[in-house]
Amino acid sequence: MEVLNLGMVGGGTVGSGVFHALQQNGALLAARIGIRIHVRKVAVKSVEEPRPYPIPRRFLTTNWREVVEDPQVQLVTELVGGTTVAREVVETALRLGKPVITANKALLSAHGPALFAEAERHGTNLYFEASVCGGIPILKALREGFVGNRVTALYGIVNGTCNYILTRMTQERADFQTVLREAQQEGYAETPPDLDIDGHDAQHKTGILASLAHGHWIPADYIAVEGIRAITPLDLQFAAQLGYTIKLLGIVKQLKERARHQGEVPLQVSVYPALVPSDHVLARVQGVYNAVFVRGDVVGDTLFYGRGAGKDATASAVLSDLADAALDVRLGTRRRRPAFVKGPDAVRVVPLDDVVSRSFVRLSVIDQPGVLARIAAVFGRARIGIASVIQPEGHTGEVVPLILMLHEAPDGAVRKALDRIARLPVVKAPPVRFRVESLT
């Protein structure tokens, strides 16, 4: 059986997970693809650092160039993370014509197009299934499974930390800070947690999904992003009462069917917490799990669900890419499915202010007659319709929550109306607002 030599850069959580999975299932993989993948060397930051799975000392080096530049090494994994050394590793390998497998969404988000161009120049390829939603083969599904589809809508729960926190807040009626602290202690959230909690990790992944789905690279700064810090148990409770669950969603949505034929696809690409109907499959995605709901113009509605992170789930995706890369190397088809293929349709990312959606609004108001009328007047002047109101009973003069469901309106108009409402004397805290995604 043919053997291909793998050089690994990064032997931490994901790296050691890949090493372990290759030990455990390497023979199975070999039987399936007809190629044995042999780990030749693993570059690590420090030989002594603790890792979830052990890697024997003889494989280790602290010099990544020794791995990447080894003439015997035919495939390279970049599993160090970050955008500095990782970038150098990937570029060096690609310049040597070696296929690179990476799990690094931050690197792709920052330098994707440059790296894809580098791969093309040197007749090789970059594989990145593991960069989005860990074990869920979502990039393969988009690229290959739905190769005959236009993706008209995609909604992803792509950050396990946020989904874990929201699930626990919902189940335990606990507040954000308490659950975050516990999640950090349990290892479900990083310290500092900002990259996850503020939606930036989801933004990277949503950008990659949007780019693959539409064949145009969408830079992160085109993607409006809101995190989950503002969500309170009260919001989850009122949302539930109205038949909804709050999820942090990465959204890639074609806004008008028509415009496509005028040469340009208007796209919404954003990340924010949204209300989704509680009986929808997406709403049932709990804990650290990820899921991506994809609507194709031929296939209809689909959903892909699984673990989005962790050493093993991510290793599963790296092994899938390794198998593709190994077949491509052996068969001499390194550019069979290039890392990125430009699509035929032009796209335009529509500013979030122009995106139309329904809204859930929670205000903290003084409980006194006429409050609702004053608030309704602001929405009325902005031509924003109110669909329903929940006004829990309180005592006169107390600060109480007031929940409003708004009809469809442009995002900017809702934002401006809420700015005005925030300045009303009867409103005692900044308005909280989440968009409603009906997913139909």
Active site residues: 205
Per this entry, what is the length of the chain? 440
Query: To the nearest whole angstrom, how small is the minimum distance from the Cβ of residue 350 to a copy of itself?
Result: 21
- The tokens describing 440, both together, are 């139909």
Q: How far is the CB of 120 from a copy of itself (least distance, A)?
A: 13
Q: Give the shortest CB-109-to-a copy of itself separation in angstroms.
A: 22
Q: Which is nearer to a copy of itself, 18 or 269 (CB)?
A: 18
d(CA 146, CA 258): 21
Secondary structure letter of residue 288 according to DSSP: T
| Distance separating alpha carbons of residues 33 and 53, to the nearest angstrom | 25
Find the farthest-apart pair of alpha carbons in the chain and give their distance in angstroms, rounded.
Answer: 82
Q: Which is nearer to a copy of itself, 188 or 289 (CB)?
A: 289
Which CB atom, from 292 or from 355, has the smaller least distance to a copy of itself?
Answer: 292
CA dihedral 319, 324, 325, 326 (to 10 degrees): 90
Pick from 219, 117, 202: nearest CA to 159: 202
Closer residue to a copy of itself in complex, CB, 81/137: 137
Residues that bind a copy of itself (CB under 8 A): 21-22, 24-25, 27-29, 31-33, 129, 135-137, 140-141, 143-150, 215, 279, 281, 284-285, 289, 291, 296-307, 310, 312-313, 315-317, 319-320, 322-324, 327, 331, 333, 336-337, 341-345
CB of 216 to a copy of itself, least distance (A): 12
Q: Concatenated DSSP letters for 380-416?
A: HHTT--EEEEE-----TTSEEEEEEEEEEEEHHHHHH
The DSSP output letter for 72 is: T
The residues, any chain, with a CB within 8 Å of residue 15's CB and separated by 6 or more, are: 8, 9, 42, 44, 51, 55, 77, 79, 80
If the CB atoms of residues 129 and 411 are measured against a copy of itself, the closer one turns out to be: 129
CB of 13: closest distance to a copy of itself in angstroms? 14
Q: Which is nearer to a copy of itself, 119 or 313 (CB)?
A: 313
Rounded to a whole number of angstroms, the minimum distance from the CB of residue 279 to a copy of itself is: 7
Contact criterion met (CB below 8 Å) for 9 and 77 = yes
Q: How big is the CA angle at 281 (ends 275 and 282), to the nearest 5 degrees?
A: 45
126-127 vs 100-102, strand pairing mode: parallel
Residue 270: is it exposed, middle or buried by C-beta count within 10 angstroms (0-12/13-18/19+)? Answer: buried
Cβ proximity of 276 and 249 under 8 Å? yes
Q: Which is nearer to a copy of itself, 225 or 282 (CB)?
A: 282
Minimum distance between the CB of residue 282 and a copy of itself, rounded to whole angstroms?
Answer: 10
**CA torsion, ordered 365, 438, 272, 220, to nearest 10 deg:** -150
